[in-house]
Chain A
Amino acid sequence: MTEAKQPIIQIRNVSKRFGKVTAVDNVSLDIRAGEFFVLLGPSGCGKTTLLRMIAGFELPTEGQILIDGQDMSHVPPNKRPVNMVFQSYAVFPHMNVTDNVGYGLRISGVSKGQIRDRVAEALELVKLGGFEDRMPDQMSGGQRQRVALARSLVMRPKVLLLDEPLSALDAKLRAQMQFELADLQDKVGITFVTVTHDQDEALSMASRVAVINKGEVAQLAPPSDLYEYPANRFVADFVGSVNIFEGTLTLDEPDKAAVDCPGLGKVYLNHGVTGPHGANVWIALRPEKIYLHVPGAGKAVRAAAQDAPDGHNLARGTIKGMSYLGDVTLYDIQLEGGQIIRVSRPNLSRHDQEDFTWDDKVSMHWRADSPVVLLS
């Protein structure tokens, strides 16, 4: 394989307009062979349009899509080396499982014996052995999805496209399928491209995620980078939950920086920021990275807000809202400036949620490397 370095899908300056609406706006990205690629974004952001363009159901208004080095501009969907699992699964209701899974092979003229073997193999792969003669209306949503998966996998595509594959399943089944899909992808070695609006799904399955906003790629990164190093406010806010404060960059040296936020006070960082002095920036702080204490009682907090000698930042506030979620409790805390900051606290022991209650005065602190400075 001399071409191993070549991306399996190359999307080059692709735009798609429906009348006056721009669904996809000048997107360029490469999808590598064998990876589990996820297109993540809110509904209506153009991610499904992008997937449908790869499948061939929509043609780009501008730009090119290359699959395995070949320009797909004039290749209809039935001739492309990709297969799709549809959001509604689109299992043929009048065919039983065997006929559904064997459909693609049958119309491409594969011999009967070979169809039988490959269908059996595909059903085994998605754990549907024994369901051969079932009709789709005798199956659950999860089983129908497996039929759709097997029907695509049996074609041995270079790329498998999945449109919101887990959105119609209940929470337990969804969690199970997340693992199974990742496992399946590992087993068959086919490139998976998945569209989803669910960040948990994206983070747990993907090798790389492209966050799409208003038809453009907001960030392309592995899941952990996306969460810990979001590139802009949109990504920080869309992936996970986050507190965002606007501020001014007042100090910027190679090993430290400070941002003056009117709502939060001065926020210190133990690393430099590449931004002009006095620039308008945003601080993004994840709720779980903030420690909560009763003022004065804390052993860890001796710091004054001005210098933060422990390497921690400090803030004070009053608890205005709580929601107990079992594994964690979320607190909405009103800062002295009036703004609300959200803190999540793990319930490490059974009575942890009783430590704080409404209208308690609390102090919060966080490490100097926890906040992310966003320039846009």
Chain B
Amino acid sequence: MFNRTAIAPLEYTRKLWMRSWVGLTMLFLYAPLIVLMIFSFNDSKRNVVWKGFTLKYYEKALNNDSLVEAMVNSLTIAFLATIISLVIGALAAVMLWRFRFPFKGLVEGTMSLPIIVPEICLGVAFLIFFAKIDWPTDLPWPLNLSAITIAHITFCFPFVAMVVRARLASFNKEEEEAAKDLGATEWQAFRDVLLPHIKPSLVAGALLAFTLSLDDFVITFFTSGPDTITFPVKVYSMVRFSVTPEVNAASTILIVLTVALTFIALKYQGLKGISDAH
């Protein structure tokens, strides 16, 4: 504002209309979340009018055993689904990138099907499928989460595969040949050359899979039983009675958790590495 030098043609960030547009976009994106967070500190049952600051709903949320259990379930499922999706997704990407085989196009197409198919259809499909094959529901924790976890892996791994595949496209195959030329076995070349190259996309894919799994409602709703409530399903059932600040508090915890995780991953990998993956 106090900078008196003229605005150069490409200095869009110093133009007022551009700044206000960016500001509006940010507001549009984050206003609801900020309101949710603010009202988690609201000292009122109704959650409509601001009545003063309190932390008691955080206390209440953390003392709500079934809510905490749902949260633990959600995190466990997300963790397992991420790990397994990462392995399956990365391997699928490497396979599609490296080999030529009959019906490759078909394999590629069907693999991304879970991304395209409406979630509601997938949910119903899983419900019928697990009922049909008599998937045991009375297993001890955490085995009772297996049905949900399997369902989550189904829609998470295509995303991982997609991100890794995109990254592989920029791999110089001569690097792998160079490793072998210097004496590396197939495995050593993979570990020392290919893996470091796709690492940023693995981090990005893991983040994607983790958040997708953590906040999935539709498919989880159809595959969860009475003992396997996840966080989104639990929040939904709480909201059916009334939106209390307790729900806000729980949601805020979840938001802070995912943001922190993303931040750590970015910090570890470097922002550039992840944007390179796309």
Contact = CB atoms under 8 A, between A and B. Distances in A.
Contact of B182 (A76, A87, A88, A155): A155
Contacts of B175: 90-93
Contact of B180 (A77, A87, A151): A77
Contacts of A171: none
Main secondary structure of the interface of B (DSSP, over half): helix
A78 B192 contact: no
Interface string B177-219: 1111111110010001100110000000000000000000000
B172 interface: yes
Contacts of B174: 86-88, 90
Interface stretch (A103-111, A122-130, A335-343): A103-111
A90 B177 contact: yes
A90 B175 CA distance: 5
Contact of B192 (A57, A82, A88, A103): A103
Contacts of A313: none
B193 to A, nearest CB: 6
A172 interface: no
Contacts of A107: 182-184, 188, 192
A90 B174 CA distance: 6
B178 A155 contact: no
A84 B196 contact: no
B180 to A, nearest CB: 5
A283 interface: no
B251 to A, nearest CB: 39
A78 B178 CA distance: 9
A155 B183 contact: yes
Interface string A85-120: 011101111100000000110011000000000000
Contacts of B193: 92
Interface of A: 55, 57, 76-79, 82-84, 86-88, 90-94, 103-104, 107-108, 148, 151-152, 155
Counting from the closest, the 10 A-B pairs by CB-CB distance are: A104-B182, A90-B174, A90-B178, A86-B174, A94-B196, A90-B175, A78-B180, A77-B180, A78-B183, A84-B181
24 contacts: A55-B177, A77-B181, A78-B180, A78-B181, A78-B182, A78-B183, A84-B178, A84-B181, A87-B174, A88-B172, A88-B174, A90-B178, A92-B178, A92-B179, A92-B192, A93-B175, A103-B182, A103-B184, A104-B182, A107-B183, A108-B183, A148-B178, A151-B182, A152-B182
B217 to A, nearest CB: 39
A180 B181 CA distance: 23
Contact of A78 (B172, B184, B196, B197): B184
Contacts of B180: 76-78
Given A94-B196, A103-B192, A86 B182 contact: no
A83 B181 contact: yes
Contact of A86 (B178, B192, B196): B178
Given A90-B172, A94-B196, A78 B177 contact: no
Nearest to B173: A90
Q: Which of B177, B182, B192, B193 has the most CB of A within 10 A?
A: B182
